[in-house]
Structure 1
């Protein structure tokens, strides 16, 4: 089955992201706004229990941290993706790195850039118009992150939460 690991920001950040995503992101209906910590990967059913145990341990060793979003950015010219830029604080970067080690093999296809996608797969003209407008807008969000989610993909390609891992919680 296909899994991924992500952080879902607070409702006010999700609402703001969705105000753009419903128009500019074809994946709007497949997953809520999120920060991808680990790209999609396959896990066999018999390996899932060990992976969940490892994720619980990582979460237990992680303290809540604060993220800040102050602007939009883009992956252009590689792709016409527009996103809320999440400042790469050490705690977030360390967490993402831990999720690429041990039995959670490194499956990175590109460098980790913390972000929340608000538009993707845009035609060049639309991309230029939307990004040109948004880069002049001021976005200021601060959010406390105290958990991450293990997600799995359904047959209709949407993603749903398999389990939530709360930071600093007693390891069971």
Structure 2
């Protein structure tokens, strides 16, 4: 019921969702190493702003949609691991080039010139799969994941605006589709749809 929905906190994130079978595959790793796996879906973060509220986002939706209409749906390929050692984060690395992701991020930042975005000058496309409290635990997880990682891809057809509720569950408030000017063009098909397999790893005691 509507009255049971938790209030959304101020601030938002603009993301690209990991879609289809790829989301299940990524979550196999996240369930082992990411305590937030039930709080947010797997994604590539384009931008985060503590002060970007829905009342700022929604009026800008038409302008963002117009800009993104020039970008047709595309495929992200993933084949490698990456780490942020300072923050103790393990992540999956989208294969370069990142032209579409960079263009979408630039569109978002330019649409809200007065908003302070986190890491505005430091963008590393990634899909987080683990957060750790110590360096050794991160390195052990990396050694466990690397031989299990199967290259995969997924289709990107929209971006999402997310906000966290009072329970720290991230909700999709709005989406903006890509390629409105190319609506009749065939969408790219993710590669190797049969490559996904259940990943069973033993959690370290």
How high is the TM-score relative to the length of structure 2? 0.74
Determine the C-alpha separation between the residues in 2 that align with 1:46 and 1:133.
43
**Segment drifting more, 96-105 vs 125-134:** 96-105
Gaps of 5+ in 2: 1-9, 182-205
CA contact 1:38–1:99 (8 Å) conserved in 2: yes
Shift of 1:75: 0.9
Alignment partner of 1:150: what SS? strand
Hey, what does 1:107 align to over in structure 2? 117
* 1:72 counterpart = 2:69: no
Alignment partner of 1:135: what SS? helix
Gaps of 5+ in 1: none
Hey, what does 2:68 align to over in structure 1? 59
* 1:23 counterpart = 2:62: no
Hey, what does 1:166 align to over in structure 2? 177
CA contact 2:12–2:53 (8 Å) conserved in 1: no
* 1:86 counterpart = 2:94: yes
Shift of 1:8: 0.7
**Segment drifting more, 136-145 vs 16-25:** 136-145
**Segment drifting more, 35-44 vs 155-164:** 35-44
Determine the C-alpha separation between the residues in 2 that align with 1:150 and 1:29.
18
Q: 1:33 to 1:44 in 2, by over 3 A?
A: closer
Larger strand fraction of residues: 1
CA RMSD of aligned residues (A): 2.0
Q: 1:128 to 1:54 in 2, by over 3 A?
A: same
CA contact 2:51–2:116 (8 Å) conserved in 1: no
* 1:142 counterpart = 2:153: yes
Shift of 1:44: 4.8
In the alignment of these two chains, the number of paired residues is 169
Alignment partner of 2:100: what SS? helix
Hey, what does 1:116 align to over in structure 2? 127
**Segment drifting more, 150-159 vs 105-114:** 105-114
